[in-house]
Structure 1
């Protein structure tokens, strides 16, 4: 490959610009996106009652915290960027030259083409929807306008992340503060209404609680979607200052605080809206704003749009590092492991991830993308935590600055299996079949192009030519 002929003296590396506060804000800022402003509807539908819905929100926070603590052990033990890719490669890659790298490659395959760009596309579509909502308060915004705004946001976010790591983290911090202000407005407004005596909605308690376990699983799916992004800090470990300390602290602060914010926001909704009204609303926060803010109701869609912008920014920031790490291992063309000489950002991988996300936006809709994402994501999460249990057996003496109890890892694996199977059993959809076929299809790419490399040899001269052109155009080096 062209990159391998470079002078070693020209090599560069990612810089550690992400501190503890930025780490906490990256976790919180990516989790608090559109979910808390949309998901209350889905959680209530699955849970059946107000009381059970609040329990589901708290339980989702517990599940995500436990999963993130497992990732904290992996991240401090294997301090590499790339998240799941690095952990699966470390756990299984050494076992067998042929089959060992397959779990990591399949995650790269699914992560690069489904999980990460789909998550990015969902956030930018939500951003587009809320950004133009103030101009269409009394009607549904046109789909073309939503997608035009979403694609414009992708261009802006990609530029920010490619230009400077400090700028991306600075914007992330600002957006996170704005999100917390929005949630504070929801919470305070709802609690004031409850104090004034408008407590009939929250007094319903556990009335009409759903008894079907599979429906409660759907409620968990909607709640966990609002928490997704909890693992994003693991993708940028090489840019995190003192990861052995800051990674677990960021997780133990960021996720519980987010959980408290989500529960308080739901109490705020219930102080103003009934269970039925929340379920009927397509944008709960906007409906709440119209009830409570009067002439200032237009501000709530703006708050949500800023929240989605911050979440999408954090998502692309982390997703680019997955592509970077996978290319560094030879799972994708080497040029995607190159770094901007001047900016110290993985520019080619950021551009590729943004392009795939943009391609998903054009034909996609939110509900289909969320189903496609959730099924694939929890397969990856469960298998990654399983790699932690494997490493406990294969590398018991390796230093672990942070160690999670084994029972926690077992619980997370079992939970992930449940979350993958329950929706399929309850409501099988063709999207699940497509996702499974796409995952299996990765094997038809792995063996000829990654392991044997025979099919790739005739393409090498063209790949080298493209690599050189990209290096010159973007000024990137190994």
Structure 2
């Protein structure tokens, strides 16, 4: 056990294979089994949808490399939160962590859990839509099981990630090979005039990117657990390049396969595209794709939990969340209070959530904060070039991704302004209002101290110290 007196450190247990599995495993979740029909229906043509998927991969790669430099300049867990704290200041960092813990991560986990549940129940409701209550109950079970796993052991959570990674890779390889066979048999009619009917409106392109980038979400997973990564200065950029190249190639091939087997109209109307593909290509073995897609979403949900608990943990350590959330289990060295808190919020979002709006509002909020984080990297490059940085990217990279982030935030509003985007913006800004009385002036400290002591004894946790 690494330690300093009575304080605990999270252990460096994640190597390069675990690191690649965490990035690719979190990225390849429910998205590639659900988003293709939404990208296609929004952008309007097969050719344009493939272009969107390729550009999404490029944005994820450039973003990941920029984050790799940030992760080596500021070698602490917590990703955007810790980078904003060190560059933009406490108020902006608190606005992020408030939005992240209350909306972004629970919304992301809930969206993935709902996809997992849809695929679990799909074989039992072959001809009809499954009851919504049943889907939500299965999703809740998935959330609770993974919360327990992540509280018990870092190693067990990592093993689940590696195993589900293998399953989802096999499923995607089957889809790719099935598509290749169909192409060789001459099924190319869906690619004729492939750009016909493209929607080139700013809003359509923005929403198509939201849906595509939902499938790539997770490219920054490793930055949430930098302190648990072995040799981060080498493994962080290497894992980013390997994982995102692998995922982008797979996504493009999978989309080609979908379009080879199904007409664009069939693809757009399918609610579980992998199952529709499986039924057309594998016949009576179509249920296999349902199982594989469910396991894939399960792995993605696991990665989301693993990294999400860490942000809560780091924010509490910096004094932006109650102290109890910065504690780790005395024997297992997992940040269990932060994980339990994240789970409870996810279950609340699940009770009231709806998959479609979750993706758009999650993406809108996420890209606001990605933009602020990249501005921080540009600031550090210009103002603090003397800081040690074992890994460097050219300044053009963060500038390009920042331009993409600005476009992604503004695009859906320019063509089709919706009042919901205003509500989301106001919610983000409300973090600043909460910060002043409760964080800066520390209102009601006595009550919080008593609660912390009780929870500390109940959960068997102790304050954890960051690795220096």
SS at the partner of 1:300? helix
Deviations 1:290-331 (A, max 9, x none): 111111111111111101100000001000000001001100
Conserved? CA contact 1:16–1:240, under 8 Å: yes
Deviations 1:81-132 (A, max 9, x none): 001111111113xxxxxxx311111111111111111111111111111111
Deviation by residue 1:385-426 (Cα, 9 ceiling, x = unmatched): 110011123321001111111111111111101000101122
Whether 2:453 is the aligned partner of 1:468: answer: yes
Q: Deviations over 1:332-370 (max 9, x none)?
A: 111100011100110100110111111100111101211
Q: In the alignment, does 2:161 pair up with 1:159?
A: no
For the 8 Å contact 2:92–2:432, the answer to whether it is kept is no
- Please give the alpha-carbon distance, in whole angstroms, between the structure 2 residues aligned to 1:429 and 1:214: 11
Distance (whole Å) between structure 2 residues aligned to residue 133 and residue 280 of structure 1: 16
Whether the 8 Å CA contact 1:339–1:346 is kept in 2: the answer is yes
The CA distance in 2 between the partners of 1:440 and 1:30, in whole Å, is: 29
* 2:441 equivalent to 1:448: no
Q: Distance in 2 between matches of 1:419 and 1:141?
A: 34
| Other-structure match for 1:261 | 250
Pick from 22, 47, 60 the counterpart of residue 56 of structure 2: 60
Query: Would you say how many aligned residue pairs link Structure 1 and Structure 2?
Result: 461
Please name the residue that 1:244 is paired with. Answer: 233
- Displacement of 1:439 in angstroms is 0.7
Say which is worse superposed, 44-53 or 271-280, in terms of deviation.
44-53
Q: Provide the residue aligned with 1:11 in structure 2.
A: 7
Is the contact between residue 371 and residue 431 of structure 1 (CA under 8 Å) also seen in structure 2? no
Deviations 1:190-244 (A, max 9, x none): 1111111121112332222333233122211111111001111100000000000
Is 2:216 the counterpart of 1:227?
Answer: yes
Does residue 141 in structure 1 map to residue 130 in structure 2? yes
TM normalised by structure 2 equals 0.96
User: Which consecutive unaligned segments of at least 5 residues does structure 2 have?
Assistant: 464-468
Whether 1:419 aligns to 2:419 is no
For residues 35-114 of structure 1, the aligned pairs below 5 Å read 35-92=31-88, 100-114=89-103
Q: Aligned partners of 2:45, 2:4: CA distance in 1, in Å?
A: 62
Match of 1:399 in 2: 388
2:312–2:338 CA contact under 8 A, matched in 1: yes
> What's the counterpart of residue 477 of structure 1?
462
Following superposition, the deviation at residue 468 of structure 1 comes to 1.3
Distance 1:394 1:133 in 2: 54
The answer as to whether partners of 2:24 and 2:243 remain within 8 angstroms in 1 is yes
Partner of residue 364, structure 2: 375
Aligned to 1:324: 313
The separation in 1 between residues aligned to 2:383 and 2:8, in whole angstroms, is 33
Native 8 Å contact 2:226 2:232 kept in 1: yes
Match of 2:377 in 1: 388
Could you tell me which residue of structure 2 aligns to residue 186 of structure 1?
A: 175
Q: 1:118 aligns with which of 102, 107, 114?
A: 107
Q: Find the aligned partners of 2:420 and 2:77 in 1 and give their Cα distance.
A: 30
1:439 counterpart residue number: 428
Q: Give the match's secondary structure for 2:8.
A: coil
Aligned-partner Cα distance in 1 for 2:129–2:203? 32
After TM superposition, give the deviation of residue 79 of structure 1 in Å.
Answer: 0.7
**1:299 maps to which residue?**
288
Equivalent residue, structure 2, for 1:3: none
| Contact preservation (8 Å) 2:211, 2:359 | no
The alpha carbon displacement at 1:8 in A equals 6.7
Alignment RMSD (CA, Å): 1.2
CA distance in 2, matches of 1:8, 1:403: 32
Secondary structure at the residue paired with 1:201? helix
SS at match of 1:339: strand
Contact 1:162 1:345 in 2 (8 A): yes
C-alpha contact 1:321 1:349 (8 A) present in aligned 2 = yes
Report the Cα distance in structure 2 between the residues aligned to 1:8 and 1:304, rounded to whole angstroms: 44
Is the Cα–Cα contact under 8 Å of residues 316 and 350 in structure 1 kept in the other structure? Answer: yes
Alpha-carbon distance in 1 for matches of 2:47, 2:190: 11
* SS at 1:180 equivalent: helix
TM-score (norm 1): 0.95
Query: In 2, are the aligned partners of 1:50 and 1:204 still within 8 Å (CA)?
Result: no
Q: 1:337 aligns with which of 317, 321, 326?
A: 326
